[in-house]
Chains A and B, each alone.
Chain A
Amino acid sequence: MKPGSTAAACAALLRRDLVLVWRRRGDALTPLLFALIVVALFPLAIGAQQDTLRHVAVGVVFVATLLAGLLALDTLFRGDYEDGSLEQLVLSPHPLSLLLACKIAVHWLTTALPLIAISPLLGELLFLDPALRALLPLALLLTTPLLSLIGAVCVALTVGMQRSGMLLALLVLPLYVPVLIFGAGACNAAQMGLPFLAPLLWLAAGLVLALVLAPLACAAALRISIS
């Protein structure tokens, strides 16, 4: 790989971000703990009746994953913004959308993938139907990248702000809802024995679209924010 080429730049960025997460691997556990706590709160709040919990298991796991991802979203660009490396990425001769796509990919790998991995455990805590043990992680596998991509565009708009947590949630949640409806809807339909393939296909189509468009939108939003 020729140093200074776009491929080398992406490789260097991927490597750097992975090393950075590894150096702070303790912090990477926080979204997992958060999701676990949220899920654990529900039996305490609505009673430990197996049937009731089974009914809401899919929805609760999805919402817990979504909220954990939302909390983690802030770290996508904040570190780079504060020490000036984001500026360096914007100034580099490589397509900004590609570089940002690399950052989003690492962010997803290190925050969402662990959540997907523990989702069967979270489901078990809520007495999730055993038939769904494979479908739940699969549905999350389709929804979480969409959430990361859409979230990245909104984070790019608020990157400079100090206490942007609430505002970010306000911006991001309306856009998250269709994804949630399709993802959780597919699992809920499967739980009731109804056909569930269609929403998953819609999610996949949305994911393909987002993979192409979201990095471009993210780059445009970032240029507005740092100006």
Chain B
Amino acid sequence: MNALTLWFHKIGSPPTFHRIATVAQPWCYAVGLVLGLVALYGGLVVAPRDYQQGDAYRIIFIHVPCAWMGLFAYAFMAANAFVALVWRIKLSEVLAMASAPVGAAFTFVTLVTGSLWGKPMWGTWWTWDARLTSELFLLFLYFGVIGLYHAIEDRRQAARAASFLALVGVVNLPIVHFSVNWWNTLHQGSTVRLLGPSKIDASMAWPLLLMALATHLWFFGSVLARTRAGLVELDAGKDWVRKLALADAA
């Protein structure tokens, strides 16, 4: 067994991962918070007014990173769901189930901030165009995964069933992303590109990207916190958990 496989096995063991998560989680939250505040300052104060929308556009600095996170969280959940179903690794089951509520929250914030932006910009709180509808279904898919997970008694079977559902719903991800290209939508097209030049001004780009980084860190902080709890719950009878509980009580 080479070093990389060995390392994976080691990380995948619940007590080891719990230790790593305990150390990493506060850092993720702290750095994420700091970067987030800097990005908010950059977006709300420093960045200039948009020549078309005035100050109303500033909600983009929350709306867009949350939208990215909603998709990223689902991809993260689906990847872990795949590992959990194929190789039955306990840690992947817990990670997948932990990312569902966080992703749902980000998606919900996306929808709400989008709605708040839509009122001044389009004159309506909501419209059933492709982008908004597919984003709403992303939220429903999250609810479905969470609901299924909590409906089954056996925790591991529940995680497997919910993981299966998550994988079935993964087809929605490209639909959400490409909806603005494939259909005539009220929602604007993509401005920030991963490869190639973006259509956004540099003074607005840096707060956006910094906020994206901050939300990623926040996401991982949340997922690690939930994973710690999930691992302890799953392994409740085992020695390492007992030692942990006794150490905490001491």
Contacts and interface: CB of A to CB of B under 8 A. Distances in A.
B144 A171 contact: yes
Interface of B: 133, 137, 140-141, 143-144, 147-148, 151-152, 157, 160-161, 164-165, 168-169, 172, 175
Contact of B168 (A158, A217, A224): A217
Contact of A175 (B148, B152, B168): B168
A227 B143 contact: no
- Interface majority SS on B: helix, strand, loop or mixed? helix
Contact of B164 (A167, A175, A177, A224): A224
Given A161-B152, A224-B164, 20 more contacts: A157-B161, A160-B152, A161-B151, A164-B151, A167-B147, A167-B148, A167-B151, A170-B140, A171-B147, A173-B140, A174-B137, A174-B169, A175-B168, A175-B169, A177-B133, A177-B137, A178-B175, A221-B161, A224-B161, A225-B157
B137 A157 contact: no
A225 B144 CA distance: 16
Contacts of A177: 133, 137
30 contacts: A153-B168, A154-B165, A157-B161, A157-B164, A157-B165, A158-B148, A158-B151, A160-B152, A161-B151, A167-B147, A167-B148, A167-B151, A170-B143, A170-B147, A171-B147, A171-B148, A173-B140, A174-B140, A174-B144, A174-B172, A175-B168, A175-B169, A177-B137, A178-B175, A217-B168, A220-B164, A224-B161, A225-B157, A225-B161, A227-B157
Contacts of A174: 137, 140-141, 144, 169, 172
Interface string A154-191: 10011011001001001101110110000000000000
Looking at chain A's contact residues, is the secondary structure mostly helix, strand, loop, or mixed? helix
A93 B179 CA distance: 44
B138 to A, nearest CB: 9
A221 B143 CA distance: 19
Most chain B CB within 10 A, of A153, A173, A174, A178, is at: A174
Contacts of B143: 170
Contacts, number: 47
Nearest to B136: A174
Contacts of B165: 154, 157, 171
A225 to B, nearest CB: 6
* Best-buried of B133, B140, B143 by chain A (most CB within 10 Å): B140
Greatest chain A CB density within 10 A among B144, B147, B161 is at B144
Contacts of B175: 178
A151 B143 CA distance: 17
Contacts of A175: 168-169
A224 B147 contact: no
A173 to B, nearest CB: 7
Contacts of A167: 147-148, 151
Given A157-B164, A158-B148, A224 B169 contact: no
Contacts of B160: 224, 227
B164 A221 contact: yes
Which 8 A/B pairs are nearest by Cβ-Cβ distance? A174-B140, A171-B144, A174-B137, A224-B160, A157-B161, A170-B144, A224-B161, A174-B141
B11 to A, nearest CB: 26
B109 to A, nearest CB: 19
Nearest to B175: A178
A176 to B, nearest CB: 10
Interface in A7-37: none
A196 B151 CA distance: 41
A217 B148 CA distance: 17
A224 B151 contact: no
Interface string A206-227: 0000000000010011001101
Interface string A56-83: 0000000000000000000000000000
Contacts of B164: 157, 220-221, 224
A225 B168 CA distance: 15
Given A158-B151, A161-B151, A217-B168, A224 B157 contact: yes
